Amino acid sequence: MVSDGLLGAAVRKQNGDRFLTGRIEYTGDLRMAGMAHMAVVRSTHAHARIVAIDTERARALPGVIALLTGEEALGLAEPIPHNLDPAGLGGQHAEIRCLAVDRVVYAGEPVAAVVAETAGEALAAARAVTVAYEPLPAVLNAQDALAPDAALLYPGWATNEMIAGETADGDFEQAALDADHVIDGELRIQRTSAAPMEPRTYLAAWDERAQRLSWFGTTQNPHPMRWVLAVALRLSESQVHVVAPPLGGAFGLKMHGHPEELLVAILSRMTGRPVRWAESRAECLLAAGREQRHRYRAAFDADGRIRGIEDELVADHGAAAAGPGWGMAFVASLAVGTGYDVQCCRVTYRVVVTNRAPWSGVRGFGKESANLLMETIVERVAETTGLDPVEVRRRNLVTADRFPYRTATGLDLDSGDYHSLLDKVLSKVGYTDARERQAVQRAAGRHVGIGIAFELTPEGADIPGALVGGYDTTTVKIAPTGHVTVLTGVTSPGNGNETAIAQLVAGRLGVPLELLDVVQGDSSLCPYGYGNLSSRSMITGGGSALLAADELGQKLRTVAARMLEATGPDAVVLRDGFAILVADEGHAIPIGAVAHAAHTLAFILALGIDPAMEATCTYRPPNIRHLPDEHGRISPFASFSNAVHAAIVEVDPETGVTVLRRHVVGHDCGTVVNPAFVDGQVYGSVCAGIGLALTEELLHDADGVLRTDGFKSYLLPRATDLPQIELLHQCTPSPFTALGMKGAGESGLGGAQAAIFNAINDALRHRGARIDALPASPARVFAALAQADQAVAA
Amino acid sequence: MTPGTATCQLQLEINGGRRTADVDPRMLLVEALRESFDVIGPKIGCGTGDCGACTIALNGEVVKACLTLAVAAQDAAIVTIEGLASDGQLSSLQEAFWDHNGFQCGYCLSGMLFAAQDLLDHDLHPDDGAIRDAISGNLCRCTGYEPIVNAISAAAQAARSRIDKSRGSNEGAA
Amino acid sequence: MIAGALDYRLPETVREATEQLAVEPRDTCVIGGGTWVVPWLASGERTAGRVVDLRRVAELRAIRATDDGVLFGATVTYSDLVRGDTSAGPLRLLALMARGVTGGVQIRNQGTLGGSFVAARPSSDAPTALVALDARAVVRGPGGERRLAAVELLAGAMRSALAPAELLTGFELPLQQDGGIGYVKLKRGASSWPLVTAATRLELDSSGRLEAVRLVVGGATATPLVIDVSTVLGSQGDVAVLAEVERRTSAAVVEPYADVLADGSYRAAVAPVVARRAVAMALADARRDRSGERR
């Protein structure tokens, strides 16, 4: 008999008191005796040959311990293993080194590294390194990069195309012929950055005597990180210990493949000192993502029913990298169609390399872009047919009776009730009233817009051939004192999943939360796992924790039954810290006593069972399908959360400034373990979507050098930019996962971005203006209105 | 401080205790706190005074410690997040943040607490707009600000209740 | 951390400050609150062998009445302005401007009027407001003290007209009728520094006609623009006045400023709107009687 007493409880974050009193140690708070500091010399050119690196002046500066150039590093490490090698999917492989050799392919690329006694001295020395470059022609956007005579970033490649692929089902050309309407359009999504509050920080300590590397760092995935370091440094994994201290936010940035991850280790080995590197905010903003152009066509009938969609996605990746950034274009292509019943879908994606900093993972990992595309198409269908955009959604969203539903791209949607969620959100925002009010406001000259968006968030991916696992493992142990330790292969970017896992285990084992610790992020202590990404932690970490807790619980109940002279484990329940006889609740023993007895009386009380008071279990979601179907499609996701957004904006027509008046979001991530944490994830995700819609953009100058290198120019949303976010929930459990949990953490982003985009276009519609690119900066909106006015005047 | 010397002896009162350390005069106050005084509560998120993660109280005013040179703070009284709880008891603001999930990764938490406390020191009836304005100098990438606003609102409410209660008991006594 | 060698000075009087500044004037950075200068030094955008920090010079933080106006010391902070006596005209505009400074209460506590002015960033609020209030900058140098119209101290974007070894010690604001004030700024989100600012002060005569008006637009050009709106004097109708304000502003923005946040054509297009809104605000303010009710 199992109990889930804490399931659904808004338990406070574990160790919250330590956070609140400044006693949590992030990577940048760690100190080691003899710790030295690294600074990186970066290319100032977008594309150039490295003629010479002069380190003499730098070497002479106070405190300098060592310097390393790309040539010197060649002998010290292998190329960085890829997180997701495009070659695995038929794309081009690029050898990525931790420091550039011979040529640089983006401004900001690491060219040399310095180690000094203090961070200030390292910085001064880095600035004193002189690099002579011979500039080469640079391609600074995808279009130029694809031109026939374009300069090539990688001479071994025939073109600047890293990878291309297609998912197709159904005959779009036929659908277009059959349909009442065919529209085409272009959607341009801007370059943005994950920008967690904590920049990347790494600390490596090589122990020459023991021949072991200890590595602490801001990584989402400690075990794969260990593999990266072992392979690159030609060590065995058992020589490498990776610890991921509490993270100050990740949002995809901290997935492995960054050159500095390896650099600190190389330099520690070279110098015999622990070496720490903490990136500056300007360095952190080099990490890019999302920049893509969609050229789409949609075929639909007068009744709004979409017959087919065709999309060509061209992603401007920046230079190649060892990180998984390019995968976001692949995922975007898989997610096109989202939750709409459109079986005819042809999507091609092309990832193009250009002379700018490479894509790193970002929140949404491509799904947010697919959602934006679909919601744009739906709005245009509404415009063309004259139907209300809500009605178009009603007529096209997959209905609740169709699950599990295989999309045109091969994804097996697990469960959902999209129509019900849509109704709830519309009711909450008061859609009909809002439209009536809008008419009145419009008549008074105000540009109020209402935007709706449906959002599908495939989560919990397993990518074949990569250390991106869809399963994970947990060990649950109980010590003789009764203290429970949970060792998990998942990690937390700070969202509280460790607490939610604790709730699950505490519930199943019947122990109070105070007697339970969750240990994450240690490659030596924790079972092999894939960390956090793709909102997987509760599905895989929670799922495996439940299995392990049940297995251990069974053993505890078996021992307790013997102590209580009961018939067997099923006669005992674990609750409130006690093993209780079901038939007579007055008979109970503290669980701690059971644990102690199991440890000390194994040959009496634990005969016939495995006496170890621990259990290690793996949870593998049954619905990830890697065997291709008859169309060659796979379904690599374990769950499909969804959301519906309604945004009300007001555009100031004289300045193009958009104010967000209301934002309502309905969210469905199946069974929720801790509603406070899920709410927090959704609020954060919606806020990030607002930033993507309105203010965030990475910009470069004509030479390809980043201009938006701080928070005065890369504009993140602040509290005064947002109204109260009105959040409601729905729960359609997954029929496949443990407890029916789905992933949470990325839902909110794409939908908020799309809803606001739609709202702005709604606000501009009566003026005959629209925008087809983001962000919806005041200048862009202003220009759209001016252009529309000119067209009217003409 | 003697000009031209390599290090400077910096004397500070940190969280009520007198501390002295040798600091490089080129250090920012937040760096000196973290590296020379081992006070790690204030964080570095941008170095340009935008994110607010380095916010502390200096001589009673909330300031961004990355915008101050360490040596400029000679003899100052500084309070950091490590000094907000008294005798191991979390303040009601800290409890409110915990109760309302006002922090996720926690990196912005130190700064947020100071901005929030500064507001509550001046205004116990802040509306939604006033609360958002009070934390407008602090960036958060995790929470979307909503839980933080809720936490601060709850803390203000709790403070008002305490005052009403103590007024009530005073009146009763009188 | 600042990378280069640094000789840090903390004078306690204006005299000490000017003496320290005179040692190596071209290699010295002066810090008011440090909100611009410290990050510049830390990033290497500026290098200086010497820093003169004014925070201990008490007389520079004073706000005091003079014979014909008010003197604001150069290191008066935005919070000082917000907390100050807001009954009189100039302080009302300065307080309004100060309350909205980007960066939160921390920046308001740390940032100084003088520091903002000398940084001469087109996006800053303080220069626009001070120029609108007819501020005179008080400058102390090796040759003594001089006074000049504040706007003359701004040579260009990010360039003050201070000579090496000169120290801005404060601003004198003349006594003015407490007419109407307006301050409007255009930003692209809370994180953004202003793209265009407009500050205005005006007076209405007893019959409600415009008797005096001073309008300054910042951010649209490299330095704050004093807009010649003398043509509206004597007018009474708001619609006509505001239309003229837009026209005059549009004509005045000839070389619009561009940066990573907005290009010149956008700034030029919206400057008239921002200016108009500031004047509209000031007109409404002027009509409000002292008890706060509209006349």
pLDDT digits (tens, 9 = 90+) for A688-719: 999 999 999 999 999 999 999 999 999 999 99
Contact A20 B43 (CB under 8 A): no
pLDDT band for B90, please (50, 70, 90 cuts). Answer: very high
C188 close contact with A: CB closer than 8 A: yes
Contact B107 A686 (CB under 8 A): no
First to last CA, chain C: 56
Answer yes or no: do C28 and C49 share one domain: yes
**Using one digit for the tens of pLDDT, what is the confidence trace for A42-100?**
999 999 999 999 999 999 999 999 999 999 999 999 999 999 999 988 999 999 999 99
CB-side neighbour CA atoms (13 Å) of A704: 28
Residue at C235 is within a domain: yes
CB-side neighbour CA atoms (13 Å) of A217: 39
What is the C-alpha separation between A319 and A154, in angstroms, rounded?
9
pLDDT (average), residues A490-507: 92
Answer yes or no: do A204 and A317 share one domain: no
pLDDT at B4: 42
> β-strands A639-651, A658-668: how paired?
antiparallel
Contact B47 A281 (CB under 8 A): yes
Give A-chain residues touching B67 at CB under 8 angstroms.
none
pLDDT at C89: 63
- What is the dotted CATH code of the domain comprising B92-168? 1.10.150.120
Average pLDDT, chain C: 93
Answer yes or no: do C108 and C208 share one domain: no
Domain that holds residue C26: 7-53
Residues 6+ apart with CB under 8 A from A565: none
Answer yes or no: do A686 and A763 share one domain: yes
What is the C-alpha separation between A396 and A407, in angstroms, rounded?
13
pLDDT at B171: 65
Give B-chain residues touching A684 at CB under 8 angstroms.
104, 140-144
Answer yes or no: do A415 and A538 share one domain: no
Residue A358: pLDDT over 60: yes
Task: Give how far B107 is from chain C: nearest CA, Å.
Answer: 18
Give B-chain residues touching A727 at CB under 8 angstroms.
146
Answer yes or no: do C81 and C134 share one domain: yes
Find the CATH number of the domain harbouring C99. 3.30.465.10
Answer yes or no: do A480 and A446 share one domain: no
**Of the candidates A588, A619, A650, which is a domain's last residue?**
A619
Find the CATH number of the domain harbouring A730. 3.30.365.10
Contact B142 A120 (CB under 8 A): no
**Using one digit for the tens of pLDDT, what is the confidence trace for C54-106?**
999 999 999 998 888 899 999 999 999 999 876 666 789 999 999 999 999 99
Domain that holds residue A583: 16-23+471-619
Which uninterrupted H or E stretch holds A371? helix A367-385
Domain count, chain A: 3
Answer yes or no: do C213 and C160 share one domain: no
pLDDT at B168: 81
What is the C-alpha separation between A377 and C184, in angstroms, rounded?
38
**Smallest CA–CA distance from C35 into chain B, residue:** B67
pLDDT (average), residues B102-110: 98
Which uninterrupted H or E stretch holds C126? helix C125-132
C261 close contact with A: CB closer than 8 A: yes
**Smallest CA–CA distance from B139 into chain A, residue:** A718
**Smallest CA–CA distance from C56 into chain B, residue:** B72
Which of C31, C43, C105 is closest, CB to CB, to B118? Answer: C105
Contact B139 A197 (CB under 8 A): yes
Residue at C295 is within a domain: no
Give B-chain residues touching A712 at CB under 8 angstroms.
48, 50
Quick one: what percent of chain A has pLDDT higher than 90?
94
Bridge partners of residue A216, in order along the sequence: A203, A243
Q: List the one residue out of A615, A616, A617, A633 whose CA is nearest residue A625.
A: A633
pLDDT (average), residues A745-769: 96
Q: List the one residue out of C204, C199, C264, C187 whose CA is nearest residue C238.
A: C204
Answer yes or no: do A441 and A311 share one domain: yes
**Smallest CA–CA distance from C99 into chain B, residue:** B133
Answer yes or no: do C104 and C211 share one domain: no
pLDDT band for C184, please (50, 70, 90 cuts). Answer: very high
**Smallest CA–CA distance from A11 into chain B, residue:** B99
Contact C53 B67 (CB under 8 A): no
pLDDT (average), residues A609-636: 93
Residue at A83 is within a domain: yes
Which of B34, B104, B132 is closest, CB to CB, to A680? Answer: B104
Residue at A703 is within a domain: yes
Contact C266 A782 (CB under 8 A): yes
3-state secondary structure of A164: strand
Contact B145 A718 (CB under 8 A): yes
What is the C-alpha separation between C149 and A332, in angstroms, rounded?
58
| CATH superfamily of the domain spanning B8-83 | Beta-grasp domain (3.10.20.30)
Residue at C26 is within a domain: yes
Give A-chain residues touching B94 at CB under 8 angstroms.
20-21
First to last CA, chain A: 77
Contact B103 A199 (CB under 8 A): no
> β-strands A275-278, A240-243: how paired?
unpaired
Contact C188 A782 (CB under 8 A): no
Give A-chain residues touching C278 at CB under 8 angstroms.
none
Task: Give how far C41 is from chain B: nearest CA, Å.
Answer: 9
Residue A390: pLDDT over 60: yes
B164 close contact with A: CB closer than 8 A: no
**Smallest CA–CA distance from A786 into chain C, residue:** C269
Answer yes or no: do A612 and A639 share one domain: no
Answer yes or no: do A509 and A645 share one domain: no
Answer yes or no: do A484 and A447 share one domain: no
A699 close contact with C: CB closer than 8 A: yes
**Using one digit for the tens of pLDDT, what is the confidence trace for A103-138?**
999 999 999 999 999 999 999 999 999 999 999 999
Contact A494 B105 (CB under 8 A): yes
pLDDT at C177: 76
Interface mutation target, options B78, B105, B119, chain A, most CBs of A under 10 Å: B105
Counting as contact any 3 or more CB pairs under 8 A, the partners of C are: A, B
Give C-chain residues touching B8 at CB under 8 angstroms.
8
Contact A719 B131 (CB under 8 A): yes
> How many angstroms separate the Cα of B117 from the Cα of each of A41, A663, A762, B62, B127?
41, 28, 41, 9, 15
pLDDT at A3: 55
Window B:75-114, CB contacts with C under 8 Å: none
pLDDT band for B5, please (50, 70, 90 cuts). Answer: very low
B134 close contact with C: CB closer than 8 A: yes
Domain count, chain C: 3
What is the C-alpha separation between A477 and A553, in angstroms, rounded?
10
Give A-chain residues touching C190 at CB under 8 angstroms.
717-721
**Using one digit for the tens of pLDDT, what is the confidence trace for A276-308?**
999 999 999 999 999 999 999 999 999 999 999
Tokens in use for A336?
């096109």
Residues 6+ apart with CB under 8 A from A322: A79, A80, A81, A82, A83, A96, A256, A257, A258, A259
Residue C253: pLDDT over 80: yes
Residue at A150 is within a domain: no
Give B-chain residues touching C48 at CB under 8 angstroms.
none
Answer yes or no: do A682 and A556 share one domain: no
pLDDT at A5: 76
Interface of C with B (CB under 8 A): 1-4, 6-10, 31, 33-35, 38-39, 42-43, 51, 53, 55, 79, 103-107, 109-110, 190-191
Give A-chain residues touching C1 at CB under 8 angstroms.
118-120, 123
Contact C1 B137 (CB under 8 A): no
Answer yes or no: do C71 and C145 share one domain: yes
Residue at C294 is within a domain: no
> How many angstroms separate the Cα of A740 from the Cα of each of A411, A424, A672?
18, 22, 9
Answer yes or no: do C216 and C200 share one domain: yes
Residue at A211 is within a domain: yes
Give A-chain residues touching B50 at CB under 8 angstroms.
710-712
Answer yes or no: do A41 and A107 share one domain: yes
Give C-chain residues touching A655 at CB under 8 angstroms.
186, 270, 273-274
Phi, psi of A237 (to 5 degrees): -60, -25
Find the CATH number of the domain harbouring C38. 3.30.43
Q: What is the CA radius of gyration of chain C?
A: 19
**Of the candidates A284, A305, A334, which is a domain's last residue?**
A284
Give A-chain residues touching C43 at CB under 8 angstroms.
282
Residue C112: pLDDT over 60: yes
Q: List the one residue out of C144, C257, C135, C140 whose CA is nearest residue C201.
A: C135
Answer yes or no: do A436 and A571 share one domain: no
Q: List the one residue out of C149, C128, C86, C116 whose CA is nearest residue C215.
A: C128
Task: Give how far C143 is from chain B: nearest CA, Å.
Answer: 26
pLDDT at C292: 52
B142 close contact with C: CB closer than 8 A: no
Residue B172: pLDDT over 50: yes
**Using one digit for the tens of pLDDT, what is the confidence trace for B120-155?**
999 999 999 999 999 999 999 999 999 999 999 999
Answer yes or no: do C163 and C62 share one domain: yes
Q: List the one residue out of A568, A569, A602, A572 whose CA is nearest residue A584.
A: A572
Answer yes or no: do A200 and A54 share one domain: yes
Give C-chain residues touching A786 at CB under 8 angstroms.
269
Find the CATH number of the domain harbouring A125. 3.90.1170.50
Counting as contact any 3 or more CB pairs under 8 A, the partners of A are: B, C
Residue at A185 is within a domain: no
pLDDT at C175: 81
A120 close contact with C: CB closer than 8 A: yes
Domain borders along chain B are 8-83, 92-168
B43 close contact with A: CB closer than 8 A: yes
Task: Give how far A335 is from chain B: nearest CA, Å.
Answer: 24
Residue C30: pLDDT over 60: yes
pTM attached to this predicted model: 0.97
B34 close contact with A: CB closer than 8 A: yes
Which uninterrupted H or E stretch holds A14? none
pLDDT at A123: 94
